[in-house]
Amino acid sequence: MKAIIDGLLVLSNEIVTGHILMYEKDIWKIVPRHQFRAGMCTELIDANGGFVVPGFINEHIHGCAGADVMDEDGQALETMRKALPATGVTSFVATTMTQSKEAMAGALERVRQAMGKQGGAQVLGAHLEGPFVSEDYKGAQAAGYLAAPDFSWIAPYADVVKIITVAPEVLKNKSFLKECRDHQILVSLGHSAATYEEVMEIVDAGGLCHATHLYNAMAPFHHRQPGLVGAALLSPKVHCELICDNLHVHPAAQKLAYQLKGRDGIILVTDSMRACLQGDGESELGGQAVYVKDGQARLADGTLAGSTAVMNQVVLNFLINSGASLPDVVAMASANPAKDLGLYDRLGSLEEGKQADVVVLDSNDFHVKQTVIAGELVYDELAK
């Protein structure tokens, strides 16, 4: 048996002090301090007053530490798996870019091979960001490979793809939505110039969907043309990704989203690229040169191209900007993605019987002190 002591446990709706989290591969029990004896455990982590939170689940990440999901060398996902625990991420949905069908198929096959691997952040599957998006709001997606939604070439990877970003206005055949639902693939609306009516037609026709990085790569809100932003903020069926690096989304827009969507309607993501954890300089995303200066990643024409954000900082930024409670904000990076991906029975909160994915955060600046995945200590700042 192992234990985390002297921490502030961030549970679903409260912060608990004076308790010990005991675990092996799964969380065994949370007990009052007076019931615990050191001899009960073979391994102790002293949180030293830090916050003890469930591991973060990043559902939208292209890369970090010099690696990208689209890399063909076969090492990129392993690099990401090893680097992400230092940011509090214990599992992630590897996100592709719009490239050729062959390149995207190769990426999906590599994701398939990485799923289930232990010893680092766990790969949950793939988020297909494109090619089914609008040229008007393609962002850093390569225009030459954009295509109409077609489930036939996704079908061989239905076990891998967990999320698909789609622009509503390019979706001419609504059977695509049914195919996604039948295969438990979450449709995320984004990279779109869609009208409010086009979005609501899709939302009303189905169940839960996501909005890919709300506010970004979509027509801006206008009082006579509310578009995707307006529909996403108003509909309880749409859960909204937010990149809270204070560059992609202004702090006031973050607070507005929280006031309209509440705890359950927001999912914090990084949308990070290979330049994440690499500092300033020239990088690459989707075959295009990217230039990072002062932490801002842009294409040559100035277009924002993903981010260099890390999840622990995103969580802290949103906590400061939104006025939400810490349990609410932590849920947006753990419980909410777990629920929407159908994994909440195993991941997303500190509860008895769930997988022991646990992160210790410094209570001042949220830097990651230790990360445990499936009961194994995979990151310790003192061991760096």
- The number of beta carbons lying within 10 Å of the beta carbon of residue 356 is 23
**For this structure, is 245 an active site residue?**
no
The whole-angstrom separation of Cα 373 and Cα 369 is 14
Sign of the CA dihedral with 226 first, then 231, 233, and 239 last? negative
Cβ atoms 126, 138 nearer than 8 A? no
By three-state DSSP, how is residue 223 classified?
A: coil
User: What is the Cα 93 distance to its own chain's centre?
Assistant: 7
Number of alpha helices (DSSP H) and beta strands (DSSP E) in the chain: 9, 23
Is the previous residue joined to 131 through a cis bond, with omega within 30 degrees of 0?
yes
Alpha helices (H) along the chain: 76-83, 101-114, 175-182, 196-205, 227-234, 251-261, 311-322, 326-332, 335-340
The phi and psi torsions of 84 (rounded to 5 degrees) equal -65, -30
Closest CA to 93 of 261, 212, 193: 212
Cβ atoms 359, 54 nearer than 8 A? yes
Cβ atoms 126, 95 nearer than 8 A? yes
The whole-angstrom separation of Cα 128 and Cα 90 is 20
Identified catalytic residue from 68, 71, 271, 340 = 271
Closest CA to 126 of 107, 101, 153: 107
Please tell me what DSSP assigns to residue 191.
Answer: S
Amino acid type, 297? A
Amino acid type, 336? N
Burial class (CB in 10 A: 0-12, 13-18, 19+), 108: buried
- Annotated catalytic sites, by residue? 271
